């Protein structure tokens, strides 16, 4: 088993930008580079189509560690970047993922 130690989040401290990878992947072209509109809803709808997200027992704890960094911009790998209360959005994602039955994660 390969384990990486936690060295802190991929966060740009001056801009409070979290490199969020696929956490909030959105389908479509991402025509708007930066938005303050909802990205959790579109991201969850996109994720439900494929269920590609890595489900793990420690996911909620990891998202909470990221939230404590108080990011203000989430730079998404797929779709628009988002600006706002990043901690709140990360916690909303954790809640959404926790609401899923474990059988769906297998």
For the chain, what are the domain ranges? 13-105
| pLDDT, tens only, 20-70 | 888 898 887 778 999 999 999 999 888 888 766 667 888 889 899 999 999
Query: What is d(CA 51, CA 21) in angstroms, rounded to the nearest whole number?
Result: 16
Q: Is 75 helix (H, G, I), strand (E, B) or coil?
A: strand
3 band by pLDDT with thresholds 50, 70 and 90: very low
What is the SS3 assignment for 14-67? Answer: CCCEEEEECCCCCCCCCCCCEECCCCHHHHHHHHHHHCCCCCCCCHHHHHHHHH
Q: Would you identify the CATH topology of the domain 13-105?
A: Metallo-beta-lactamase; Chain A (3.60.15)
User: CA neighbours within 13 Å on the CB side: how many for 76?
Assistant: 27
Tell me if the pTM is above 0.85.
no
């Amino acid at each position: 088993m390969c384990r990486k130690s936690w060295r802190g989040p991929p966060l740009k401290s001056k801009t409070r930008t979290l490199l969020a990878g696929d956490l909030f992947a959105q389908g479509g072209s991402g025509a708007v580079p930066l938005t303050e509109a909802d990205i959790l809803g579109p991201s969850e709808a996109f994720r439900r189509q494929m269920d590609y997200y890595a489900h793990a027992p420690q996911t909620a704890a990891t998202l909470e560690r990221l939230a404590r960094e108080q990011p203000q911009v989430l730079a998404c790998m797929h779709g628009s970047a988002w600006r706002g209360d990043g901690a709140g959005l990360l916690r909303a994602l954790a809640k959404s993922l926790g609401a899923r039955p474990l059988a769906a994660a297998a």
